[in-house]
Chains A and B, each alone.
Chain A
Amino acid sequence: MSEFTNRVEAQRRLLKIVNAKKKHGEELFSLSDSAIQRWSSVNGVDPSSRVVDLLKKASDRVFVMANHSDAPIADEYLLTVEELCHIGDELKEVVESEG
């Protein structure tokens, strides 16, 4: 897969984790800074909560991936993919524990 499709897939996976919980009125649209801010504000989610913190971390990682398209097998890139997977797993746990 290309860097572009990797990035799209990584975002989609994380969005589905957050949006699978139907308790929020408005879905999280993307992992952009402004989307995370809007989601947190519209749904009354504490901006200092663990969920928002993890989303911001994921957002940074997604953009880091965007800046490494010419080195998809470099260690740093692999670490980022791995990091995103860990963030996704943690996000799932946090979202599910919130009921």
Chain B
Amino acid sequence: MHVYAFGSVCRGEITLDSDVDLLALVEGHDPRFSQHKYSIYSYKKIKKMWQDGSPFAWHLFLESRLLYGSDGEDFLQSLGAPAKYQQYVADCLKFLSVFETAQNSLKQSRESKVFDLSAAFLSIRNISTCYSLGVLGLPNFSRHAALSLVDGGLSLPLTPVSYGILERARILCTRSIGRDISDAETDSVVEEFGKVDSWMRAIVEHARQYERIH
């Protein structure tokens, strides 16, 4: 069994609303670990993710710290670097799809509005992370990865107020901390979604161009 901390705490990105991400590596079902507190993976699955060069494997390789290892070894570091990340176009398309589904859901009703806004935030963050890892070669796993895409006309076209509302939705969904989001706030963010959709499509296009060349 191995237990790791990963994410913001390992980057020194500490805020009042940040939590500590924990990873547990286990052989089989282990009732000591709650799925709500830990990301739980089998060794087999982690090795597969390493072979696939998945963004999560790279995230763990670059930003995790061993808390406990039953054999005293740092299992993840012993695996070496994950394989090259190659699924970036497919992953960017996946997060574009998640964003568009959230957008459509918000157009149809407001019955899952905070969740939809949170899904939008997550898809914006994740498409940026996949692009930074696959295309730029400068992986950024931060919650604010989208804000660091500034070259190539890829600055996120969202006002700081709208970005803050999306981030609030994400924290409400994951930690349930903060003020609820009003319909007026939702309307103001949704008005900007067309520009965000175009921005995500531009990222996909940049990724495709990069894939054709490399």
Residue A48 CB within 8 A of the other chain: no
Distance from A67 Cβ to chain B, minimum over Cβ atoms (Å): 6
Q: Quick one: CB contact mask for A52-71 with B, threshold 8 Å, 1 for yes?
A: 00000001100110110010
Contact indicator B98/A63 (Cβ below 8 Å): no
Q: How far is the CA of A44 from the CA of B111 in the complex (A)?
A: 19
**With A26-B180, A60-B35, A64-B35 as given contacts, are A5 and B94 in contact (CB-CB < 8 Å)?**
yes
Instruction: For B214, list chain A residues within 8 Å (CB).
Output: none
Q: When A33-B36, A64-B35, A70-B45 are in contact, do A16 and B175 touch as well, CB less than 8 Å?
A: no
Q: Would you call the interface of chain A mostly helix, strand, loop, or mixed? A: helix
Q: Report if A12-B172 is in contact (Cβ < 8 Å); known contacts: A63-B35, A64-B35, A70-B45.
A: no
Structural contact, A32 and B36, CB atoms closer than 8 A: yes
The number of A-B residue pairs with CB atoms under 8 Å apart is: 70
Main secondary structure of the interface of B (DSSP, over half): helix
Let me know if B40 and A67 touch, CB within 8 A. Answer: yes
Q: Inside 8 A of A16's CB, which chain B residues have their CB?
A: 109, 111-112
Assess whether A2 is interfacial by the CB under 8 Å rule: yes
Tell me how far the C-beta of A33 lies from the nearest C-beta in chain B, rounded to whole angstroms. 5
* Residue A34 lies at the interface, judged by CB distance under 8 Å to chain B: yes
Segment of B5-13, B115-123, B135-143, B204-212 in the binding face = B115-123
Residues of B within 8 A of A19 (CB): 111-112
Give the distance in Å from the alpha carbon of A35 to the alpha carbon of B119 in the complex. 15
Q: Considering the chains assembled together, what is the distance between the CA atoms of A5 and B112 in angstroms?
A: 16
In contact, B173 and A35 (Cβ under 8 angstroms): yes
Q: Is the CB of B45 within 8 A of A30?
A: no
Count A interface residues, CB 8 Å: 28
What does the 1/0 interface line of A7-28 toward B look like (CB < 8 Å)? 0110110011001100000110
The number of chain B residues touching the other chain, given as a range, is: 20 to 34
Q: Which residue of B lies closest to A71 (CB)?
A: B45
Task: With both chains docked as a complex, state the minimum distance between the C-beta of A21 and any C-beta of chain B, in angstroms.
Answer: 9
1/0 contact string of B1-42 vs chain A (CB within 8 Å): 000000000000000000000000000000000011000110
Q: Verify if B114 is at the interface (C-beta below 8 Å from A).
A: yes
B174, CB-defined interface residue at 8 Å: yes
| Cα separation A4 to B95 with both chains bound (whole Å) | 10
- CB of A38 closer than 8 Å to a CB of B: yes
* CB <8 Å contact, B111 and A15: yes
Give Cα distance in the complex from A15 to B172, angstroms: 14
Whether, in the assembled complex, B113 has its beta carbon less than 8 Å from a beta carbon of chain A, the answer is yes
Query: Can you report 5 residue pairs joining A to B where beta carbons are below 8 Å apart?
Result: A16-B112, A27-B111, A30-B118, A67-B35, A70-B48
